[in-house]
Amino acid sequence: MKKIILFFTLLILFSAFKSDKPAYRIFNSKGKAVKYKKMLKDLSDAQVIFFGELHNNPIDHWLELEITRDLYKIKKGKIVLGAEMFESDNQLLIDEFLNGKISKKSFDAEARLWPNYKTDYQPLLLFAKKHHVKFIATNIPRRYASVVYKKGFKGLDSLSVKAKEYIAPLPIVYNPNIKCYKDMLTQMKMMGHANANLAKAQAIKDATMAYYISKNAGKGRLFIHYNGAYHSENFQGIIWYLKRYNHDLKIMTITSVEQSSVDSLQQNNKGLADFIIATPNRMTKTY
């Protein structure tokens, strides 16, 4: 009788476990599931962390804030934040807002914010404001990325000296055979868009983000950067340029993928980063 009771108890527990629906799972680069605390411990040893997000994934945005909170505690406040979502010519606005020189209303009106700023990125900026953490606007102003898309890198030569201050130093080294750029061009050609400058526009963003990270990384502080997953997957994009600016920085990466199931990591998602956050592809979107 006891064996029968034990059998049905185990069956119920097994069924309950199988019916659980985790919102996410974390895997290492080889596809082994890891605990959040293990990831956090490894991340705390880095000098630069890239969090490659899916822009409309709510789990990514929640984890960005949670990881930032936890690393702030571990590093005793010695962190710097930076993001693709803020353009370099808005650094003064960010500094004024964080230091209480301008109101939230003024900042929101002038900073050319992304549509999902209030739900997804404002919490990070408010965290920086509350804890007196430096926040770096790393991305190239979009008007200059547009110049590259239309005219290639040579289009940047005609910009003023002042304008060039918001861009990575020229000339920009560019390798079209790097996987992230090569894949982008291949995909665009398949869609009927053959403009080779598209990948160059991506590269100028990567180079500029890397440049501003390199200027603010190290010095005993951990730099946490938030960007679209494509900018740092496979340790390319921003990272390729960052290593040119400062090869000695210890870099760790997080990327995000969506799968039909998060029980295990799909083969094609292995190796994308040091840590891969998998969420169900039916996850609610922020926009």
Supply the pLDDT for residue 5: 47
Q: What are the tens digits of pLDDT across the range 29-78?
A: 999 999 999 999 999 999 999 999 999 999 999 999 999 999 999 999 99
Q: Which fold has domain 23-280?
A: Rossmann fold (3.40.50)
Supply the pLDDT for residue 196: 86
Q: What are the tens digits of pLDDT across the range 150-195?
A: 999 999 999 999 999 999 999 999 999 999 999 998 887 788 776 8
For residues 233-239, average pLDDT: 97
Supply the pLDDT for residue 12: 41
Using the predicted structure, report yes or no on whether residue 247 has a pLDDT greater than 80.
yes
Share of the chain above pLDDT 90, in %: 88
Q: What are the tens digits of pLDDT across the range 109-161?
A: 999 999 999 999 999 999 999 999 999 999 999 999 999 999 999 999 999 99
Quick one: pLDDT band at residue 223, thresholds 50, 70, 90? very high
Residue 31 near residue 265, CB atoms below 8 Å: yes
Listed by start position, the domains of the chain span 23-280
Q: What is the pTM of this model?
A: 0.92
